[in-house]
Amino acid sequence: MLETAAKHYSAGIWIVSYVFQLLAAIILLQTLYFKFTGAPESVYIFTKLDAEPWGRYLSGTMELFAGIMILIPRTVIYGAILSLGVISGALVAHLTVLGIVLTIDGQSDHGSLFALAVTVFVSSLVVIFLHRKEIPILGKKFR
């Protein structure tokens, strides 16, 4: 993988990119268990968004694709763009309907879900910036 990436990027850029790719992927993929098993927190969130259960399954599926694609060298840019899109929806939901701090069954998450979403958002932006030359059509403008 480093050999393929090294053709286009310096080792330092590749390492920075991969750290942010891993960070986004780990967060995206670890939430799948909760979405697909119907954990009370996920059911609460998507019920409040009036999108339970289909929204939970759709969101989880998109996060699964994004989490895998962002780790594969040939699909990094697509995974990062998909990740940015999905997590933007989560951030909008937090800022408009859910709130930054969620309290479910008397338990506060102290803003941890919001913080994780912001982390994925920033990580995805960094990866997109570092791989901007790979964006179809637009990438040619960055060369």
- Reduce the DSSP state of residue 104 to 3 states and report it: strand
* Mean pLDDT per 10-residue interval, the chain, length 143 residues: 54 93 98 95 96 97 98 96 98 97 92 98 98 82 67
Instruction: Identify the residue whose tokens are 């939970």.
Output: 56
Q: Identify the pLDDT of residue 5.
A: 46
Report yes or no: 80 and 124 within 8 Å, Cβ to Cβ: yes
In sequence order, what are the residues at sequence separation of 6 or more whose Cβ sits closer than 8 angstroms to the Cβ of residue 78?
69
The C-alpha atoms of residue 15 and residue 30 are separated, in whole angstroms, by 22
Q: What is the largest CA-CA distance in the chain?
A: 53
The C-alpha atoms of residue 45 and residue 124 are separated, in whole angstroms, by 23
Q: Identify the pLDDT of residue 6.
A: 44
The rounded Cα 16 to chain-centroid distance in angstroms is 17
| CB burial readout 1-24, b (16+ within 10 A) else e | eeeebeeebeeeebeebbebbebb
> From the CA atom positions of the chain, what is the Rg in Å?
16
The rounded Cα 136 to chain-centroid distance in angstroms is 20
Q: Identify the pLDDT of residue 137.
A: 79
CA atoms within 13 A on the CB side of 11: 1
